């Protein structure tokens, strides 16, 4: 029952490779193309310089990202807290209903 069932082997006649003698014809060798020239890399590239305006824009953008990420995380935490509170309230209500039924 648990043994694998393999399909039957294909039965094909054995392949016999026969090479007929042919006259040797030389193949012309094609020269390989020369590699494309590479531009020299300058070692004295200018460093990135921030102007006061771009520094201010970078700081404002970073602050905006921090505020957006913080707002998203706080809203997720608030959603979890509200869900937990509602589940706790439902548990208390069910418990009081079941206790009231037992006492009757």
- Asked if pLDDT for residue 65 goes beyond 70, the answer is yes
Question: How many whole angstroms from its chain centre is CA 96?
Answer: 49
Quote the tokens at residue 8: 């039957």
CA distance 54 to 60: 10
- Tell me how many domains the chain contains: 1
CA distance 43 to 59: 30
CA distance 55 to 17: 75
Q: Is residue 20 part of a domain?
A: no
Q: Is residue 58 part of a domain?
A: no
pLDDT in tens, 84-103: 999 999 999 999 999 998 88
CA distance 91 to 97: 10
Q: Is residue 30 part of a domain?
A: no
- Asked if pLDDT for residue 43 goes beyond 70, the answer is no
Tell me what the mean pLDDT of segment 45-64 comes to.
Answer: 87
- Phi, then psi, of 15 in degrees rounded to 5: -85, 125
pTM confidence score: 0.45
Under DSSP, is residue 54 helix (H, G, I), strand (E, B) or coil?
helix
pLDDT classification of 20: cutoffs 50, 70, 90: low
Which structural domain, as residue segments, surrounds residue 83? 75-104
Q: Please give the full DSSP string across 61-94, using - where no structure is assigned.
A: HHHHHHHHHHHHHHHHHHHHHHHHHHHHHHHHHH
Q: Is residue 88 part of a domain?
A: yes
């Amino acid at each position: 029952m648990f043994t694998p069932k393999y399909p039957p082997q294909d039965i094909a006649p054995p392949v016999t490779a026969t090479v007929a003698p042919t006259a040797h014809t030389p193949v012309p060798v094609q020269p390989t193309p020369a590699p494309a020239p590479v531009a020299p890399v300058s070692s004295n590239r200018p460093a990135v310089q921030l102007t006061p305006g771009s520094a201010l824009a970078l700081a404002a953008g970073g602050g905006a990202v921090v505020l957006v990420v913080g707002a998203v995380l706080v809203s997720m935490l608030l959603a979890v807290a509200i869900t937990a509170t509602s589940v706790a309230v439902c548990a208390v209500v069910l418990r009081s209903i079941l206790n009231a039924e037992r006492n009757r």
